[in-house]
């Protein structure tokens, strides 16, 4: 869930209109007018990212009209700008921005906090820039969720293969840890560990009769996966 807070209603209206028109990502966005505590910032459930959009009034000298990512706040707080973007950056000393960043950082890591300053008139071009940035945040969230799903699937497969092999090897706790690391290495390196185990079974190396034989077969499993025995 991505929570977006707007200093000005004009910001909120344009962003809502954009995402309702586009029909993409709207379901993960939660809009609000302001925040006063870490309770209010997370009151709508689990929040994965936070965006604050405001109209800059200070430190405008030398900056053209546009939308800026804030990279430093009051020479003390530094949002981690890990999200790739062509949006220009600037620092701010505005007290309200500092207050909001402190509240947000109580419930989120710095790279999940996005502070955007609008300098000058909020034109259609700037509205598109803001919407495009929010879309980047949405896509980054989706990629992160997909990666976590893939990792969970991989961990489940590692556990399943490890438990089956450990049973056939009469593995002790220490042997089971070795099997798990071998299986993990094999999956990362695209080594067909399941085929190796199946072949060892057809060769009479699995299952074994006792733990002593299990250690020998475990050594053979490591040799076939890593090229060297235990």
Please give the angle made by the CA atoms of 177, 179 and 180, to the nearest 5 degrees: 65
Mean pLDDT of all residues in 148-170:
94
Ordered by where they begin, the domains of the chain are 2-147 (3.40.630), 170-226 (no CATH)
Q: For the segment 30-44, what is each residue's pLDDT rounded down to a tens digit?
A: 666 555 555 555 544
DSSP letter string, the chain: -EEEEESSHHHHHHHHHHHHHH-SSGGGEEEES--SSHHHHTTTS--SEEEEEEE--SS-TT--SEEEEEEEETTTB-----S-----EEEE--HHHHHHHHHHHTTS-GGGEEEEEEES---HHHHHHHHHHHHHHHHHHHHHHHHHHHHHHHHHHHHHHHHHHHHHHT--HHHHHHHHHHHHHHHHTT--HHHHHHHHHHTT-SS-SSHHHHHHHHHHHHHHHHSS--
Residue 142's pLDDT band, with cuts at 50, 70 and 90, is confident
The model scores a pTM over 0.85:
no
Pairing mode, if any, of strands 49-55 and 113-119?
parallel
Mean pLDDT of all residues in 36-60:
67
Which has more confidence, 121 or 196? 196
End-to-end C-alpha distance for the chain, whole angstroms: 47
47 within 8 A of 29, measured Cβ to Cβ: no
2 within 8 A of 51, measured Cβ to Cβ: yes
pLDDT value at position 2? 80
* φ, ψ (nearest 5 deg) of residue 172: -80, 180
Q: Which of 28-32, 62-66, 110-114 has the lowest mean pLDDT?
A: 28-32
pLDDT value at position 16? 75
138 within 8 A of 83, measured Cβ to Cβ: no
For residue 199, give both structure tokens.
């072949």
pLDDT value at position 44? 46
Q: For the segment 161-187, what is each residue's pLDDT rounded down to a tens digit?
A: 999 999 999 999 999 999 999 999 999
């Amino acid at each position: 869930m991505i929570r977006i807070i707007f200093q000005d209603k004009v910001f909120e209206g344009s962003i809502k209109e954009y995402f309702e028109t586009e029909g993409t990502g709207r379901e993960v966005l939660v809009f609000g007018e302001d925040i006063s505590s870490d309770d209010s910032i997370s009151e709508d459930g689990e929040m994965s990212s936070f965006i604050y959009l405001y109209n800059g009034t200070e430190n405008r000298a030398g900056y053209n009209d546009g939308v800026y990512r804030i990279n430093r706040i009051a020479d003390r707080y530094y949002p981690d700008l890990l999200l790739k973007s062509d949006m220009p950056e600037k620092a701010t000393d505005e007290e309200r921005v500092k207050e909001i960043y402190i509240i947000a950082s109580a419930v989120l890591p710095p790279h999940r906090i996005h502070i955007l300053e609008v300098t000058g008139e909020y034109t259609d071009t700037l509205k598109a820039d803001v919407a495009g940035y929010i879309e980047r945040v949405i896509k980054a969230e989706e990629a992160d969720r997909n990666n976590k799903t893939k990792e969970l699937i991989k961990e489940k497969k590692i556990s399943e293969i490890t438990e089956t092999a450990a049973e056939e090897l009469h593995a002790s706790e220490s042997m089971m840890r070795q099997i798990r690391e071998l299986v993990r290495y094999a999956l990362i390196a695209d080594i067909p560990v399941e085929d190796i185990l199946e072949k060892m079974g057809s060769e009479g190396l699995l299952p074994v009769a006792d733990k002593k034989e299990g250690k020998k077969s475990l050594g053979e499993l490591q040799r076939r996966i890593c090229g060297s025995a235990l």
